[in-house]
Structure 1
Amino acid sequence: MPARRDLPQPDGTGLRERILDALHELLRERTFDGLSVAEIISAAGVSRASFYFYFAGKQAVLAELVRRAVGAGHEAAEPWVRATADPRETLRAGIDAGAGLWLENAGVLRAIVESWASDPQLRELWLGQMATFTDATIARICADQQADPAVAARLDGVDVPALAATLTWTGERLYYLAACGVPPFDDRKVLVDTLTHLWVSALYA
């Protein structure tokens, strides 16, 4: 008997990517809560056994998509985090790249933002992923304080972790509103200008 086309592959590629791609596409038009595993399986064209070979449930599929998007976000922010050029320029470039990533992955990121508060597994995932951005921001602010007396003076007495978290979560909210098409943040230039102004004013102005 010939092997089934959708049986799990030893290297974990192919079928796994089809499942991830299927959820990514379904979330363009559907809410995460409204999707069933059966619908993901049907869209991916795989068997139930294959789905559960790679993922424990639909939350695990979403988690992988979220981790990939967050990883791309860290890459976009790397020039600012690593202080490779003028901080104002690298901040704006990173914010603009972040806006592009959110729009590209709008369905996935809407799903996690709308689901994490009511799902313990997704709550742990999203808080942990957002903490990685906050931690990177804290590290850059502390480096700026050590390297630039003006920054140190500006932030004297400021709770840096709280400031970093505020900037990070403000970005999350505005990117989310943009992904939902809510004015004025559906205008990418307005979104980027506003977030850049907030970050630069808080840290460098």
Structure 2
Amino acid sequence: MGATVSTNGTARGGRGARERILRAAEDLFYARGIHATGVAALIEAAQVSPRTFYVHFPTKNALVEEYLRRFESEKSIAAEAELERGDLPPAQRLLAIFAPVGGDPALIRGCPFHNAVVEGAGELPEVARLAQRHKRAFRDRLVATAAEAGAADPEALGGQLAVLFEGANALAASCNDAQAFTDARRAAETLLGVALDTAPEG
């Protein structure tokens, strides 16, 4: 079936419809919140018909779940992706994560996984599962990077840095103030200094 055309000439179906819906979800869910973003707003932003929307996503919850999965498979969270940089030594990669999530200094919304779990309030078990999986994987990457940096106890350092990172994101989003990231980075520098000073020689 070909794409239909809206009154302003914009395609409302076709092969790109699913991608447009997901892009709309990324923008609106993150900026406005999941509950505050209705299906009508998603349909309008994606320029699809209601029928096309529900063909791709039978429920709004299904779209929420796919929105989160994309951060794992296609679009890494920018601050977390710092751990994969090849141009920085391991210790510097651990510090580089302490940057605002989202990139817009005027609008700090924190971690999309954390936000989705809070909004779900225990009523979206698959969202909670996705968030738990993501957080465990992120902590594991921190531990691995800490080991690469030569930390005496990578498990402890990785866990501590995870707490700092999550706390900075939550506080910055609550107050819309990036100072939390500056404070968290300074604390991380102290932790790294201790962890690397006590690393065994060899």
CA contact (8 A) 1:28 1:106 kept: yes
Q: Does 1:178 align with 2:172?
A: yes
Q: How does 1:85-124 map to 2 (within 5 A)?
A: 85-96=88-99, 99-101=100-102, 103=104, 106=109, 109=112, 111-118=115-122, 119-124=124-129
TM-score by length of 2: 0.68
2:4 corresponds in structure 1 to: 4
Paired residues, what number?
180
4+ aligned runs moved over 6 Å, structure 1: none
Q: Does 1:142 align with 2:147?
A: yes
**Which structure would you say has the larger RCO, counting Cα contacts within 8 Å and 6 or more residues apart?**
1
2:24 corresponds in structure 1 to: 22
Q: Does 1:128 align with 2:117?
A: no
TM-score by length of 1: 0.67
| C-alpha distance in 2 between matches for 1:170 and 1:51 | 39
One-letter amino acid of the structure 1 residue matched with residue 102 of structure 2:
L
Distance 1:106 1:171, change over 3 A: same
SS in 1 for 2:34: coil
Shift of 1:167: 2.6
| C-alpha distance in 1 between matches for 2:42 and 2:88 | 44
CA contact (8 A) 1:138 1:164 kept: yes
CA contact (8 A) 1:27 1:107 kept: no
Distance 1:61 1:107, change over 3 A: farther
Q: Which structure's residues are more often helix, by fraction?
A: 1
| C-alpha distance in 1 between matches for 2:163 and 2:49 | 39
SS in 2 for 1:204: helix
| C-alpha distance in 2 between matches for 1:101 and 1:35 | 18
Mind listing any 5+ residue stretches in structure 1 that lack a counterpart? none
2:184 corresponds in structure 1 to: 195
Q: How does 1:14-93 map to 2 (within 5 A)?
A: 14-27=16-29, 30-69=32-71, 71-73=76-78, 74-79=80-85, 85-93=88-96
CA contact (8 A) 1:116 1:122 kept: yes
Shift of 1:178: 1.6
Mind listing any 5+ residue stretches in structure 2 that lack a counterpart? 6-11, 195-202
Residue identity over aligned pairs, in percent, reads 27
Superimposed CA distance per residue, residues 40-64 of structure 1 (whole angstroms, 9 cap, x where no aligned partner): 2233221222112322432333334
Distance 1:117 1:140, change over 3 A: farther
